[in-house]
Structure 1
Amino acid sequence: MTETRLAPGDAAPEFALPTAGGDEISLDAYRGKRVILYFYPAAMTPGCTKQACDFRDSLAQLTADGFVVLGVSKDKPEKLAKFAERDALTFPLLSDPGLEIHKAYGAYGTKKLYGKEVVGVIRSTFVIDADGKIEQALYNVKATGHVASLKKKLGLA
């Protein structure tokens, strides 16, 4: 399976996806802002919860520095709503059950899991600039410590 990998300078693939609340959010709606778009394997699992809570806990600083945070998974909006409510997540969680957007960003494909090659969601984060271009493309990120590492890369730590 060959994956698309995005790199800095590439145009960020456009999307319009349903949220946990049932609204639809498009990347185009955030033109003029910097967007942190992160893909995670599954709502309410330990690693994904840790990562989402780290983004939640850093949201005030990220927002103050001009960033919008969007989380994307293959979970249905109903499950995302439970996840958001359970963990008081105040940024949009987007549903991509068909994996089209995951694939467009290279966040779905072959990865190593416990030493074996499997096909699945690749935990990835993208920083998209105000003009819709990829500023950073980070693949195979760790759930724990990722937000702190990202803030350092963005000069916010």
Structure 2
Amino acid sequence: MSDVFAVDWSTVPAPQDDGLARHLPGKSLPPLALKSTDGDLVDLSLLSGRSVVYAFPRMHRPDGPVTDGWFEIPGAPGCTPQSCAFRDHAAQLKAVGATYIFGLSTQDTQDQRETVDRLHLPFPLLSDDDRSFTHALSLPTFEIAGMVLLKRLTLIIKNGMIEHVFYPVFPPDRNATEVITWLGHRQ
């Protein structure tokens, strides 16, 4: 992970549980195909087994500017550390029952492919750039600089139904180990 994305979590405002994800556990997923960085269309409602889907606001490129005010938004910073943690723990996640691992954002697939390549992610990122999945599930969002972005959360999906939600997620670099612990108790 580049030092550009190193974060001192004690200086970042922590997100509070605003209740915007309480409706999700037990909800069936809509039959919607999401564009994937591996070139496929993925309909999460059709996948068998457990899927881990971590949603993040947006990846900033290391050669580009960070959105003004980004570090003042509770829960916004940390997309790279979170993705790297899921990358580094992918084998452990599979070992405790994750059949699939995906990242999800409202960024387009081209931006996401750069992220997959740069961070060497062993799993695809899914694009909800038209926000159809976000709207269908009423996922929590926020707006900045004219963009509507997902608030950070992680869905555990079992056979097309949301089994558990991690929300709010903070600090993001610990989310993968929290998911491993949760899944480990359900084997």
Number of aligned positions between the proteins: 147
Per-residue CA deviations over 1:15-52 (Å, capped at 9, x if unaligned) read 21111233211114422x10111210002466111101
**What is the CA distance between 1:66 and its match in structure 2?**
2.8
2:66 corresponds to 1:34? no
Q: Secondary structure at the match of 2:117?
A: helix
- Report SS of the residue matched to 2:89: helix
Counterpart position of 1:134? 162
Per the alignment, residue 72 of structure 2 pairs with none
Regions of 4+ moved over 6 Å:
none
Instruction: Give the direction of change, closer, same or farther, for the CA distance of 1:3–1:145 in structure 2 (3 Å limit).
Output: closer
Greater strand fraction, Structure 1 or Structure 2: 1
Between the aligned partners of 1:29 and 1:74, the Cα distance in structure 2 is 21
Aligned to 1:123: 152
1:22 equivalent to 2:39? Answer: yes
**5+ unaligned residues in a row in structure 2: which ranges?**
1-18, 62-76
Aligned equivalent of 1:87, options 91, 105, 119:
119
Task: Provide the rounded CA distance (Å) in 1 between the counterparts of 2:31 and 2:153.
Answer: 17
Give the residue type in structure 2 aligned to 1:82.
E
Amino acid at match of 2:56: Y
Could you tell me how far apart the structure 2 residues matched to 1:104 and 1:146 are? 24
Distance 1:101 1:26, change over 3 A: same
User: Which of these two proteins has the greater Rg computed from alpha carbons?
Assistant: 2
Report the residue type matching 1:141 in the other structure: V
Partners of 1:60 and 1:53 lie apart in 2 by: 13
Deviations 1:108-136 (A, max 9, x none): 3359x9xxxxx74210111111x322210
Letter in 2 for 1:54: A
> 2: distance between equivalents of 1:4 and 1:139?
7
Q: How does 1:1-157 map to 2 (within 5 A)?
A: 5-31=22-48, 33-44=49-60, 47-67=78-98, 68-109=100-141, 120-129=149-158, 131-142=159-170, 143-155=172-184
Once residues 20 and 110 of structure 1 are traced to their aligned partners in structure 2, the CA distance between those partners, rounded to angstroms, is 24
Aligned-pair RMSD on alpha carbons? 2.6
